């Protein structure tokens, strides 16, 4: 690995249909607070949750790419969105495995898998094993962590 690639991570870009090595995005809490709406800040940066059935993408059927509200990394394609009936937008897989990382969340006396934007670490929601084929996964996302770029 060359010195220019050191510390970079692979991220898939849907428009270019390719993976590029990019820098992680790291900002102070104050910078995020100044750039995001209060709801997006609470959810994406402080692991909050939006109210059930309240998110603008829960009942959205527009064609496009859902990107991270914090750093605009492509996260989900609308082709993988499905009606889960849970009150949050749900997807059966991320746009690319490089773009969404996961970690174990042990809060609230539960063991859950938390998907994060791989580039900036934004909290997106939770992933469960009760989704449809072909993956059997349900990426249950917060609308305020996402931004839809329509095709």
The answer to whether the beta carbons of residues 11 and 25 sit under 8 Å apart is: no
Q: Are 90 and 127 in contact (CB under 8 A)?
A: no
Mean pLDDT for all residues in the chain: 94
Stated pTM of the model: 0.92
Average pLDDT over residues 118-122: 98
pLDDT at residue number 56: 96
Is 1 a residue whose pLDDT tops 80? Answer: no
Residues 121, 22: Cα–Cα separation, whole Å: 14
71 in active site: no
Which CATH entry fits the domain spanning 29-150: 2.170.150.20, 2.40.50.100, 3.90.1580.10, 2.160.20.10?
2.170.150.20
Of the residues 68, 70, 120, 140, which is catalytic? 140
- Contact of 124 with 115, CB cutoff 8 Å: yes
Percent of the chain with pLDDT over 70: 96
pLDDT band for 5, please (50, 70, 90 cuts): low
Token pair listed for 78 = 């609308």
Backbone angles phi, psi at 107, to 5 degrees: -75, 165
Of 15, 99, 132, residue with least CA distance to 64: 15
Residue with tokens 């749900």: 90
Residue 31 host element (H or E): helix 29-35
% of the chain surpassing 90 pLDDT: 89
Give me the sign of the Cα torsion angle 11, 14, 20, 26: negative
- pLDDT category of residue 3 using cuts at 50, 70 and 90: very low
- For the chain, give every domain's residue range: 29-150
Q: How far apart are CA 144 and CA 95, in angstroms?
A: 18
Q: What is the tens place of the pLDDT at every residue in 53-99?
A: 999 999 999 999 999 999 999 999 999 999 999 999 999 999 999 99
């Amino acid at each position: 690995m060359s010195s220019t690639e050191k510390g970079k991570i692979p991220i898939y870009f849907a428009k270019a249909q390719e993976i590029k090595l990019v820098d992680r995005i790291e900002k102070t809490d104050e910078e995020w607070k100044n750039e995001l709406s209060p709801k997006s800040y609470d959810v994406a940066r402080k692991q909050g949750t939006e109210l059930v059935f309240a998110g603008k993408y829960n009942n959205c059927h527009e064609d496009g790419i859902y990107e991270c509200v914090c750093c605009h990394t492509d996260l989900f394609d609308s082709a993988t969105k499905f009606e889960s009936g849970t009150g949050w937008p749900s997807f059966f897989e991320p746009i690319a495995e490089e773009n969404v990382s996961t970690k174990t969340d042990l809060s609230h006396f539960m063991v859950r898998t938390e998907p994060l934007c791989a580039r900036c670490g934004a909290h997106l929601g939770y992933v469960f094993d009760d989704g449809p084929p072909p993956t059997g996964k349900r990426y249950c996302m917060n609308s305020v962590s996402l931004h839809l770029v329509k095709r």
